[in-house]
């Protein structure tokens, strides 16, 4: 069984995002970048399936600038077998990302595409679903538990009312949620081994895809700052402020 794990290079989750002065996007100059946390969980789960003998190969793929090699090397150090980098300076929207992944899936023929449920930069949570639609494959999203047996995947997902369990035929697309696992730290020997693992680098233009954008970012703005709270002397005063000042009662 072969598993494809798309990974994205994003602003590190510990770094405070700063909006550009012209409000055209987030300023990424001279800031720490890392693998999208949900994708890191997907890589960990793929490697665990390989360690159990269920998967025979784990392929990591990333779409972006040359520095995405670092993200792929992290995936290789965690246990992926090889990597594919699609070079582009474009910031692809979810549908176009799904089209690129569709091309890679058609070339590599994986049994499972295991990917993060969303990227923490755009928070679209759409690429996995769009890829499944383009491929005509079943999908199980927001997985908190994954079991593979007899050509099927049993996926437990958290919903508002509790837990939902789905069974899908393979090949299929599975997107990962936070509670699926705790990603490992890559050991120094594995980091050294990752340097020798194969990485296929290709240009986005060479894929021959029509990637006309359908979305346009009009403005990016920081959320308004929260106002300082105040103390009240009694419940009656609290009710009065909620009614007369906040207007919520």
Q: What pLDDT is attached to residue 21?
A: 86
Measured CA to CA in angstroms, residue 31 lies from 27, 55, 160 at distances of: 8, 36, 36
Q: What pLDDT is attached to residue 120?
A: 92
Mean pLDDT of the 78-94 span: 94
Calculate the average pLDDT of the chain: 93
Parent domain of 176? 2-246
- Rounded distance between C-alpha atoms, residue 11 and residue 28, angstroms: 7
Q: Do residues 7 and 35 make contact, with C-beta atoms less than 8 angstroms apart?
A: yes
Partners of residue 86 on adjacent β-strands: 63, 202
Q: What pLDDT is attached to residue 147?
A: 96
Please give the tally of structural domains in the chain: 1
What are the tens digits of pLDDT across the range 20-66? 888 888 888 888 999 999 999 999 999 999 999 999 999 999 999 99
Q: What pLDDT is attached to residue 23?
A: 87
Q: What pLDDT is attached to residue 19?
A: 87
What are the tens digits of pLDDT across the range 1-32? 999 999 999 999 888 888 888 888 888 888 89
CATH code at 15?
A: 3.40.50.620
Return the SS3 of 144: strand
Write down the pTM of the prediction. 0.86
Q: What pLDDT is attached to residue 222?
A: 85
What are the tens digits of pLDDT across the range 174-232? 999 999 999 999 889 999 999 999 999 999 999 999 898 888 888 888 888 888 888 88
Q: What pLDDT is attached to residue 15?
A: 87
Q: Considering the chain, what percentage of its residues have pLDDT values greater than 70? A: 100
């Amino acid at each position: 069984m072969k598993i494809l794990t798309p990974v994205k290079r994003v602003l590190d989750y510990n770094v405070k995002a700063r909006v550009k002065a012209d409000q055209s996007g987030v300023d990424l100059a001279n800031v720490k970048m890392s693998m999208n946390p949900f994708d890191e969980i997907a890589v960990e789960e793929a490697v665990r399936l390989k360690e159990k003998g269920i998967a025979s190969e784990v392929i990591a793929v990333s779409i972006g600038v040359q520095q995405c090699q670092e993200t792929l090397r992290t995936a290789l150090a965690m246990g992926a077998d090889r990597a594919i980098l699609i070079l582009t300076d474009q910031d692809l929207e979810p549908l176009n990302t799904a089209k690129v992944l569709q091309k890679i899936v058609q070339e590599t023929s994986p049994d499972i595409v295991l990917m993060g449920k969303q990227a923490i930069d755009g928070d679209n949570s759409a690429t996995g679903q769009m890829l499944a639609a383009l491929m005509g494959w079943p999908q199980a999203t927001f997985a908190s538990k994954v079991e593979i047996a007899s050509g099927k995947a049993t996926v437990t997902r958290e919903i508002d009312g509790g837990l939902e369990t789905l069974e899908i035929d393979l090949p299929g697309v599975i997107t990962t949620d936070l509670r699926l696992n705790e990603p490992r730290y890559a050991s120094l020997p594995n980091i050294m081994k990752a340097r020798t693992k194969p990485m296929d680098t290709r240009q986005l233009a060479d894929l021959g895809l029509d990637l006309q954008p359908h979305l346009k970012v009009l403005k990016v703005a920081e959320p308004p700052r929260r106002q300082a709270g105040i103390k009240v002397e009694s419940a009656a005063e609290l009710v009065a402020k909620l009614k007369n000042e906040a207007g919520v009662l």
